[in-house]
A and B are shown apart, each in its own frame.
Chain A
Amino acid sequence: MTLWISVAAMVLAVALGAVLALARVYGPAPLSALALGYVELFRGTPLLLQLIVVYYGLPELGLKLSPMVAGWLALGLNYAAAEAENDRAGLLAVPRTQMDAARVLGLGRWQAIRHVVGPQALRVALPPVTNDFIALLKDSSLVSVVTVTELTKTYGTLAAATRAHLGLGLLVGAIYLLLGLPFARLSRFVERRLGEHLEVSR
């Protein structure tokens, strides 16, 4: 449960984050402001509050979500703000003149982003994205407040029943670590592959 909801939320966060970052860096002023507003709102308020609003608050507007969907949505929307900031840092790390060079060759704005600026930005944005995934994995324990039974919730129930808080706690901690480690390894591998020829900078 923990892993599923985390992966699904991260997919949403990465996709929405990329859109937000593009809107902020390349969008027209109103769109850029809107994206900034989104980031400030979701970064500046507690995830727990967002979770409760999505699950218990939205039904007041007639939108009733299942606990899983509410947890997924709140985690994804919250982390999208963080991913947007990562992607934005990546986009800004690529010199503006790279965009100019691409445009002069006849590439459209979108083509230049997709084929020239984007791939270089990705390399910068990737390490913090992995960091965030591991943070999300841990934050997914918060979805227990909307009645999703994930790892930490299961631990709480089991520990209360067996009174083995310490032993089970260590075990559950180890499970979180094991869930996160493969992604950390994967990230370092991809980073190396992307960066092979970029080590010597201009």
Chain B
Amino acid sequence: MRLDVNGFLGAYPWRRVPGTSPEALLAAMDRTGIDTAWVTHLPSLFWRDPTEGNIWLYEAADAHERLEPVPCVHPALPHWEEALSDAATRGAPAVRCDPHHFGLAPAGDEMRVLAAACGAAKLPLLMTVRLEDARQRHPHDLVPELAAASVRALLRSDPDVRLVITHADRPFIEEVHWGSTAAEQARVWWDIAWIWGPPEDHLAHLIATVGVERFVFGTGQPLRIPENAVAKLDLLDLSQRDRAAIESGNVTQGVLG
């Protein structure tokens, strides 16, 4: 079982990206042995009201059982609690809020209230550090990258909040992990999309130091080719048990446990 927590549907505003339809994403999943993908409606991240894309997302997920919706919630909009409630009712595995994309202070009052509400609703909150390499972004794409301090602050803001952070690299992960208590560490999971393999061996190092239980399989597809996350695992000397934990067990028994 291979579960991708970091997938998108829909067009990217800053460059042409092929394979953004549900059918194309499913074909890429077939190609790379991915059984299930958590997906967000990518254009929504750039809309003034990102929840307007959630209806389309739910319909797409309803039509394709291998796709699970991760809808957007914008805690500064008046109907945000309704969006959160819809997510819970519809069985979304997580909700998403990328504060910099939504123009929010990443550890400000609105985000703290959302974190607490997600904790109460037992819905993990998913955020990305970045969508693209900063060196190649469109000149008008000026959204800051998420800071490690913001993740630490949100972890500390509510004892029930669980975070899934995508596209983080080794320094980011280490800064949050070693800057948190054991109880806080246990409430954040990292996808492997942006962690380097050999010869730097960042992923192998993090698994040895931070612990295999903190990592989940994520690709960033279709912005990134999903073959990368699979190749990364194929280059590790992992037991079958540890590999299964990253590929799905840490989600089913940890994030959703």
Q: Do A and B bind each other?
A: no
